[in-house]
Structure 1
């Protein structure tokens, strides 16, 4: 008789990752930010806090979204350095994966095969180090982030993070007015915060989808091992940019999982594209140099060095860059047909979210949702 799939034959994914190792690894590997005097750091921190507060009203006016009164106030934006951003995301991963369980190997009669403690300990440290290395790389790239995962299983709201050394570095590279650039960045991130604050169901949906996908990918260790072999064979194509998928994560997924990922990516495209559209629509009202900032920022995205491009392919970040453009085209395509209020029907619930095909064809979404 086969044992039932209960707690005795499964284990929490979170127990297979050493998150403390991840945090220490990220702190050790993260590259230092630009050279900034202490007085400049203090001024930049205060400027970003002020910009985040200034962004609230114009974002609400242009998006026509209103915070749900049932959603707890997140408090002011957190202005952080690179190691602090990495630590925050380690905690986000910990919160995300804690409830996810995967089956243990079973032997005859469906009984769980005891795990080798030494192997598990080594695996936990290795996985933690890999997570920390990935976050160390990303910590030098991210300007801001709405962290929806931390506190996802409690009444605590998400939190808005602004990475001050990265903002200062990019504004210097672009040679744009710092005050304008900081407000422009905050308009994008504040839109993300409002998306979740105005639509409480959205955070739970994103968290549940991410957890389900993580459990599905990790629940088939043999299939995952085979896909790892496929990755090794296709890695040269990925590095050259000629592979079939956007990065290693795509290669590690089964066809069914890729479809699930495509659906999740479609929603992420809407979130990112909507934030870009709101940011640029608000811009002329409050950011005098918005046209110059957008032009130079877009050129910077195209002009990355070869090593950076390789790393972005490996992590699938090139696909994320396409999300901004694809999502913005969808938002503008829908808005041109049914206006801002008509577009906001996308927030009615999971059934109103666009499919991957609809992201490329806004008219199809309008026909389905608005008839």
Structure 2
């Protein structure tokens, strides 16, 4: 052994002692037993910084040793979402910013009292930073993608199970890490290969959810922008940082923009709180659609054939590359998707119509603000596209303009009470045909009432005769 080789091995021994206290000789022995030359691992360059390598290994250990309680690693999702949320800055809110936001939400409730029969949600009003939005809404996103993550984990186990069973001693291949480091040297030798794969899949989905939620935190204005109830209970929120950024390029002053967004937020909250079946209806449709997704195993196998199964980020990129979900949805899925898109459009259309009615008497720029938000909502953003790849659907109401026209027509015919009565029962909810022909909705609804009444009368007569 040359002087340089001995020096390299001494450095490596010191590094291993920092990484695995008291186990450096054991790791070196394993390397030699596998035919590795410890003195050659560093080549001509210096060994990696122990602190950086320790941090990397600690992260991998955390990913693989966490059993978790579901198909999404919520710890990974949380940590990454917080990192992404602050990547472009997330300044703490000043007292003035927080007060302006909560005051706007309070004023919005007063304006809405004159525009809808639904009372205020009754929950607290929040002024949130981006990080606070992540904390409040991330549990909902984790639940949203869980059905798909579960299906994907099963598919990955099918595609990659044999590969892992053939090579349980998975090399971690971390940048700068000695090649002898494996599951055994990380204290994870007893981990079943299928269990390892599911944990890696959960970590990969956690990365996807965290990236999307963190990105959304830089785009949203409150807790209801995506049209789904993300909070566990009543309440409203505004993100002053995002509101101010949105208002910078507009002709309308910041206070008008803030108030209009507050009206929309409060209108959503009223609907989700006082029409309780809407929450269950929307989330139930999302889950029903997601659980019906079929995984194209051939496509998935092609995507992950050359993927390092020990690298969660590589798995994440492979799973988000497109082509994983079945190209042709089932008939049941198509029907569910249509119902979901219609429901999202109706929520957005009602909020759009009610918000405009509430704001028009008070805000000079209400009309252009309404149009700006319509276009923004229809266009979506990168985070929504990420969730589309995760859940297999886009959380955008494609037909919100048609829905708004329908609610405007119902208002003209029956006033505020008639318009809001559309939400009295799920059976009264307009369908795609009604969005195609809003003016005929009331006539069709009345005809259905007559038909139901006649059926009930005929059934009562039949039962009477039978008795």
Name the TM-score, length of structure 1 as normaliser. Answer: 0.72
Distance change in 2, residues 1:346/1:100 (3 Å): farther
Residue of structure 2 in register with 1:83 after alignment: 131
Which whole-Å CA distance do the structure 1 matches of 2:110 and 2:72 have between them?
A: 41
Question: Unpaired segments of 5 or more residues in structure 1?
Answer: 1-12, 68-72, 108-113, 152-156, 233-246
Q: Residue 170 in 1 paired to residue 218 in 2?
A: no
CA contact 2:348–2:400 (8 Å) conserved in 1: yes
Question: Unpaired segments of 5 or more residues in structure 2?
Answer: 1-67, 159-191, 305-322, 448-467
Residue of structure 2 in register with 1:111 after alignment: none
Distance change in 2, residues 1:136/1:354 (3 Å): same
Residue of structure 2 in register with 1:135 after alignment: 213
Summarize deviations over 1:277-314 as a string: whole Å, max 9, x none: 11111112222332343455567679x8xxx8677656
Distance change in 2, residues 1:17/1:31 (3 Å): same
Per the alignment, in what secondary structure is the counterpart of residue 220 of structure 2? coil
Which whole-Å CA distance do the structure 2 matches of 1:55 and 1:197 have between them?
A: 16
User: Quick check: which has more Rg, 1 or 2?
Assistant: 2
Q: Residue 293 in 1 paired to residue 341 in 2?
A: no
Residue of structure 1 in register with 2:97 after alignment: 44
Which whole-Å CA distance do the structure 1 matches of 2:301 and 2:251 have between them?
A: 45
CA contact 1:27–1:86 (8 Å) conserved in 2: yes
Residue of structure 1 in register with 2:426 after alignment: 350
Which whole-Å CA distance do the structure 1 matches of 2:235 and 2:384 have between them?
A: 25
Distance change in 2, residues 1:310/1:215 (3 Å): closer
Q: Residue 63 in 1 paired to residue 131 in 2?
A: no
Residue of structure 2 in register with 1:9 after alignment: none
Summarize deviations over 1:148-189 as a string: whole Å, max 9, x none: 3543xxxxx243232221111001121421111111001111
Q: How many angstroms does 1:356 deviate by? A: 2.1
Residue of structure 2 in register with 1:331 after alignment: 407
Summarize deviations over 1:8-43 as a string: whole Å, max 9, x none: xxxxx961101111111111123555797x7x7432
Residue of structure 2 in register with 1:148 after alignment: 229
Per the alignment, in what secondary structure is the counterpart of residue 62 of structure 1? coil
CA contact 2:341–2:397 (8 Å) conserved in 1: no
Alignment: residue pair count? 319
Which whole-Å CA distance do the structure 2 matches of 1:61 and 1:248 have between them?
A: 49
Distance change in 2, residues 1:142/1:281 (3 Å): same
Q: Residue 119 in 1 paired to residue 197 in 2?
A: yes
RMSD (Å) for aligned C-alpha atoms: 3.9
Which whole-Å CA distance do the structure 2 matches of 1:125 and 1:269 have between them?
A: 33
Which whole-Å CA distance do the structure 2 matches of 1:231 and 1:74 have between them?
A: 49
Q: Which has the higher contact order (CA 8 A, sep 6+)?
A: 1
Residue of structure 1 in register with 2:275 after alignment: 199
Q: Residue 20 in 1 paired to residue 75 in 2?
A: yes
Aligned equivalent of 1:185, options 261, 280, 301: 261
Which whole-Å CA distance do the structure 1 matches of 2:404 and 2:324 have between them?
A: 25
